[in-house]
Every structure is written in structure tokens, then in C-alpha cells.
Structure 1
């Protein structure tokens, strides 16, 4: 299992190198003098490896998010630091395996290389020329690749030794499961303002004043910064950006494959060394001696190894006609494919997609206009910075450019208008009285500059300005206080003999509820209160405008016969064991990093970063 997994890992590493084509990155772009971005102990962190990891991480983030990012944006998220940290940990492990004398022997190394499918010919045997060609295309020498394979194997062995047997005690699992899956039966009712025995009258002047003073924090304006800002966003100049019909149509044609896609098939392909082998396998399938999945497993493969995804007829070469004539769920072949005789399984049909230009014209024009507007905004940064550097005020900048002037009383919690941007809020938080305005960028391509005009301390709002609000707040608080007193009297009278009905209350019964369940018409912390109760306890639970009375009728342990509980136990065990293993590994990795010593070449890092900017 270990060998198979390792071989597949290196297949993907090798294919990644071929696709990225970054071999010789350091030579081409760094003048051949800088080959490392740092060292861990006696292990170098290769500049090419760092560049490849950066590019792979950028592509992975863009694939997951479905949008493009600049390197600067991803750098602000800490992407480059995460990549470097990962490589430091890898090299620390390599240093430690050397210290411990852990290595992959020549015979095992040979076996690993022979089993990597990327180096095999059509007959499944090792092809020396394929091996040499693939390694060269990846920008590696054979010794470099084989050394990487040895290091990866040694790291895997060390990690397995560290993480093996890391399991949480069963009592810990039981405790968590009890917390998550224990159930409660309870009865409850709600007292609303209309249930008060005596109505709450309007407050007196003395009561209003006393409530205002007691709750002065609620009636205080927070400390704030009076800020003037100048702001220019792409949307502000969008109407001024012209995009010709020819440019829009050119973008449509560039994305022809996105808007007009041929009919496709979700297909798996199982290739054989000869037509005789393929026919024999088909015969076993037809006689019911073996299923397709079992046939794949028998070949030492997984379904992911043979999955072609969605393919068009053009992708299948000589097998296209047979595959596209077959119905979903059927197995076709054996037929010749680009890789030799093969059986194909058709898992689904994706109909052809045709989107005429007229349907997407407006969306494409808006996209192009927004992109141009962002570039226009970006192109004006230097000129605006020059104005500010020359002493122009924000008001003067707004008069001489397209920037719009605004004022805001900013404090924590304000998120309207420009304060909706994290970048602006961070700048507003940091700005000092003696700071000069300078251009800052926002995530959507907007720019802004700000000036602190004044700082205001937290100040109570005069009572005469909010008298009605204070009176309404007093009435609400007084209503809940009286309801709580009334509910407490009722709770004291409730017992097994005198229940909710005997007290003239309309009660609701809940059965088998867990902490994760939801009870309609109750406050957010209602179930939390119920689960904190002892069996038979009656509790009064005040809420914002009403009061609840709850009685705990039964506590039920997790139902271990319930498949959902069994699945939950399994998930809890897996997650806690995984978390424990991760904590142990991180602690070990930190220790060996500190012991080995880490040195980073910031100049080399900056040189790599410049290639992505």
C-alpha cells in the first residue's frame, strides 16, 4: 500500500513539473547565481521548488474560488508564507531523516521507479527512454529526481512512525458523543407581555431618569474618528468606459469553447496490453464472472486512474464512434484507443451547449468595461499620489480628478458605504492625526485616501434627545422583569401533581431533542439552558421581550443502535484522532525545525515574487 501510494504521488509530481514547465526557473530569471531561498540545517530550499509551489498554490486557489487573483492579493492573504512554511517543514523532515539514518535502499528505489506508470510503455513494462525524456522535460537530472524520490520515501516513513498509534482514549470519545448525542424530553411554555396580570403603565420622569443612568452605556455614542476621504471605484467611471462591438465579439470568440460545447460523455477507459487480453476481459464481463469495478481493481488500479471525465468525440480518437453510439451505463469494446485496446464504460451524457452571442453580449460588455475601468483607476494612482505628495488636500484632489469626496464618523461596527471594505476599516483604525493622506487599494480595484479630522471620545447622548427611546426601553425591561416574577411564582407551584395545565398554561412537549436541534419560537440560547438543567428541574428563562418556563422530564443517553449515532461516533473518533495526530506532528515539526536551524534568503524570495507580479 505504501509503495503504491508513493508511486502515484511521484507520477503527479512529475506531471506537475511537465505542465508547469518551470525547470531552470532560477537560471533563467535569477541570473544563475541564486539557487536557494533558504536552508534548514544542511538542507537547501531550492528556488525552483519554491516557485513551483507558489504557482501550484495560486492555481489551486483560483480553481477553488472560481476567480483570478493577483500575486499581491494572494500575498496579502499569507499564501507565500504558507508555501514557505510548508517547504521549511519538508526540509526539516529531510534533515531529520538524514540524522536518524532513514533512507530508501537502491533496490526499493528501483522498484518504485519501475512501478511508476508514467515511465511504462504500452506493454506495461519500464521504458528507459520514456523515463529519460520525462525527467528531462521536467528540468531535472536523473540523480535529482531519484534523490527527491528517496527523500519523499524517507519523509513518509518518518511521518508514519510519528503518527502511527495516535488514538484518543475511548472515554474521551464517549464524553464527546454523550455531549453531542444525548437527548432531552422537556415541557415548556411562554409568557408574553399580554399574559401579565397587571399591565405596565408609562414610566414616571423619575423612572426614566433612573433607567437612563443605570443603562448609560446603552445610551452612549461610541468613540469615533471624524474622517474625510477621497474615493474612486471602477463603478464610478463605468459609464464613461466605451467597449466596441468588435471587442465584445472577439472576447466571445476567444471563449468559444465555454459558450459552445459539443456533446460529451462521462467516460472511463481501461486499457489492455493486447486485443486478446481485452477480448478475454470482455468475455468475463459478458458471462457475469466479474464486474467492471472488480476488473479495474484486479489490474491494480483505482477508478480514478481510468476516469477520463467528460470527453468529446474529438478527444477519443478511433474509439469515438463506438463510445458515442452507446447508451449511458453500457460498456463498449474492446476497441482501439490512442493508448491501445480498451474497454470503455459510459457513465453519462452531457448534451451539447450552444449559447449565441446575443445572449451573452451585455454580460461580456459589462465584464470588459469593468476590467477597463479597473485599469483606468489603477493608471491614475501615480498622478494622484503626485498631487498628494505636492501638498494637495483631499478636497483639491477631488476637484482635479474623478475621486469623490466624503466624510464619515467611523467607529467599530460602522460598515456602510466605503466602510464596507476591510481595507478601509483597517486604514481608519490605524490612521493618526499627523498622518498624511496616501493612496490605498481596495479588493475590487477601488482606491482611496483618507485624513483624520478629529477624534471624539465616547459621549452619553443627552436624555432630552432620546427620552422616548429611554421610556420604551424602560417599559420593555420592566415588562420582562414582571413576567419573570410571575413566571417564578408559577414555577414554584409546578410539580408532578400540579402541572402546566393545572396552572392554566398552554404547554408544549418536546421529545428526544439533542443540542443541535431547533425549537421554533424560542430564544437562541433556549436549548443550551435546557441541557444545563437537572432531571426534574423547573427553570425560568427570560428572553428579550418574553419569559419561558421549562421543566426537564427525561435525560436519554445516546442510542448506540441508531445508525446515525454509530456514524457520529465513527466521525468523532476519526476527527479527534486526526486532530491529535496533527497536533503531535506539528509539535514534532516545530521541534526539529528549531533544532536544525532555519535561514531564509529574503532577497531570493523577493526575486521569485517579482516573477509573479
Structure 2
């Protein structure tokens, strides 16, 4: 062949043919893969940011390190699918991009750290200390070797980490929450509102005339899915658990009484609780002055709100004695037999005056009221070891060809037959009490399939056999006409009620008295005081949200229980002044400042990434994780 090519190359016609053939080869490779020869050197490039490239090998190593750390925290094996569901793959890539962005910014700013400073920081690390508490070179070398580092690479990484830390501290270090934000937080947490309201009862559709045929048809067409029959599956189930096996055991009253006597204080008794408020003073003199004012008739609340008293007020709420942190305060607060003010007593953090606002006595459940539950728990404990034995016996019977019903009979158990939809409800819509994990397995299988046992959350096992499947189907209008007509009437009644409530709210805004409107509609006017965003007594979440959405003096409407409607008017709003000495605020402030500092750093890094430009090779990313998604 080579000889033939040499002969052809000696004349102009042969050279022309060879040139044309070579051109066709070049064009063919250009379309079908020759470009890979020139670009495959970038196949390992997973992402780039600015001038820095993140390789697939680097990403895979970082991902595996984080996966192993996650497994150590969870104390179990974590699969790649679970890790990706938690977002571990995105977190690792985001961290690598962030580090690269900060490294490039540090280089731009000329930031660096001397070798001596890096070495000093490493020697201070406790994990490198030997038995004497000092830096141990051999331990240092061992840890680096176990984690795939040598000394040079570890020093390089530690220097980069320290520089990033310095850059982060310069950006967000020493951040303080603005006073305006503290005011906003105080308003959100402490604001209380008052409202006048009344409740229109749920709409009564029975008095409405029967809807027209055309209206029924249009309502049905718009809501066809609401009148669709779900898929049902007829199954035979068999369950083995401590609860099912315990039903065959009898536990004596004497055994139950012994358990009751042992656990009565911990399980069957409710400790006495008291509603407590306290004032803490740094000096006994200030505490004595405050106590003297209280003895002279000044209210405890007045003294606690007076900044001149020098006391730090704390509302402990209703707590048991064990819930009071300071033992001396607890002893003093739980000593009086009636509500009272006690103290000052010397506590761990100063001198304390405590107001006992109310006392809720402790209670103890009688043996007769709890003995059945105790017997059930004792029985479960006795049969707990039999669950696995029953499981193995049933598996052996099924392997020999026995049905679930036959296996149940031979093991002294009973199998159940039921018809369920995918929500675990029967054809009447009532829940069947089937465990969600079992329902899920039932609807993942099919008729005639030999199914594995399903592990239950209570440590037991369930088996099932699907006898028949009734597919989901659209019910024709003729079949559900009465249901559609009723739903249409209910919908019209609700619309009419909502329109009436909105009209009444407009009248209130126009100057009508809310109490008069309530009486005119046959309902009682009510008042809600001390409503907070967390809730208000007797109010639904929707009503509370509406009260805080409206300005003071405005009226509105909210959904009440069972389809009724609130008609309400906000009458007052009170926000106590911001108290920077509040212990709750003092505890939360460091966390808030740290969170806001982190957010500031995230915004800075986001700006860097936008300037530098980020590119991600999705194909290489999927290949690095061994995923096609």
C-alpha cells in the first residue's frame, strides 16, 4: 500500500487525489472528534474562577474528605445519593470557589503571612500535641501522612487559610448590629396590639336554592380532579411487633404496681409550678431599697420598670422548682404557700427579689388510671426478643410457598385484608391506621410480586400481598352530580359570607361602630388584648396575622375556625422601649452579629465571583461524582 502511495505521489493526478483524500480526512475528524485531540487537556477542568482552575481530581478529593467527615458525625455509612440530597456536592464546590476568590483577592491586596507566624500557629494546635502537651513532630508527621499531606503542602494550605481569615476579619470583623435593627427586632418581638372583633358564623348553604344544571356542569368542569376516584389496592397484611405480640400476654397487678411505685415521681407526677418574675441587683443596698419601696405599697412591676432602681428584670414564666437555675432563688421562691414577694436573697449573680404571681399545685396520677399502660409496656418488654424470631419463622414459611394467611395461622398471628388508597385511607375516606412506610411499599409493588418485609419504626416488621388493583378513574358528572351540587352551594355560601364580612369591614372604616354591627348581625362583640405575633388568646393564626398587617384604627377580615369570618378593628399598639440590658437580648446579640457578619462576607465573596467570572463544567462535575444527574 505504501508503495502504491509513493507511485501516486510522483505525478500531478496522484498528488491531487491524495490531497483531496487528506482534506476529507481532516474535515471528517473535525466533525467527528479530532477536536478532542486538541481540547482533551481540559477534560479534568471542573470549574474556573478568574485565573484559577479547579480540577476534577481536587474536587473529588475534597468531596471524599467531607463525605468521610459527615459519616463520622452520623456514625454510619452515608451514600453518595444521601450526601447529594443534603447538598454536600454543592457545598464543596461553593467552598472551593470561595477559597479561590479570596486567595486571588488576597494576592491583589498583597496580603501574606510569614513562615514563622504559620509555624507558630501550627505548633499551638492541640491535635499536634504529645503526652506532655507540647508540639510533637512525630505526631504532626503521622497526622499529615494519614490525611494525604506532606509538610510543604500543609504549610501552604495553612498559610492560605490564615490569610483568608485575616481578609474575612477585615471585611466583617467587629461588626455591630445597627441600633435601628435592634429597634425593629424589639418591635417585632415585644409589640402588643389590641383589637375589637366579632365572628360571623360559618356559612349555611342549606338555605340556598338548588343550583342550575349549567352552573353545576361548569363547576364540575373547572374542578374535575376534585371528583376523581383515587387508585385503591386490596392487600393482605401481616404485622409482627412488640405491640402485637404483647396482646397475648397477661401481666399481674402486682408487677405493674411495683413499676408504678418505682417511677411515680418521674413519670406519673406533675411538679408544682409557680409564675415567677425576678429583679437582680449588683448590691444588697440597692436590693434593700427596692424591697422597701415594695413594702411601702409600690407595685413590683413599677419597681422592675424603673431604670433608677438598678435592677435587671427577668420574667421566668411558670416553672417548676427544678427549672430555676439558681438554687438559692429556687428555695426562696418555692417557700411561701401563697403568692407573695420574697427576698432579697443572695444568688449566684447578685441579690434577687422574686415575685410569686401564682401557684399551680402538683398532681399525681393514681395507679388505677395508669396501670393498663404500665401493663402494656411491661408486656412489650417481655416479648421484645421474640420479634426477630417470629420474623425469621415467617420468612421460612414464605420461602416454602406459604401465603401470608397460612404463615399467620402457623405462627399464632392474624392477617388482615384491607383496601387502601395512597394516603392510607379506605373507600369511605377514613384513615386505616396503616404505617406510612407500609403504604409506600404497597404502592411501589404490583399483583403477584413476592415482596420483602417492611421494617417498622417501632422495631417490628410488616408483610403484604397485593390481591387486586382498582385504577384511578374520573367520575362522570352523572355519578357525582349531588356531590358537585353540594360543593357548589358551599362555595357560593362561602363567597357570600366573605363578601358580607368585607362589606362590614368597609362600614367600620367608614365610621360605623363595631359593637353595633356585631349586635345587628346577632353575634357578640369581643375584645382581644395583649396580642403578640406569636398568638393571641382565642384567635386563629389568620386573625393574628391580620391584626399585625393592619395599621392602628383600620378594619379587616380573617378566616375563623370551621369556615367562619372574623371582622376586626385594630384599636391600639404598644411597643416597650428597647432595653439593651435585657438578658434575652444579651444572649441573642452575639449570634445575630455573627450571622450578619457571615452574610456580609457572603455578599463580598459574591461580588468577587461576579467580577472574576465563574464557569462550571457540568459534565465533568457529574463525572467526578459518578452521577448522570
Normalized against structure 1, the TM-score is what? 0.49
> Which structure has the larger Rg over C-alpha atoms?
2
TM-score by length of 2: 0.48
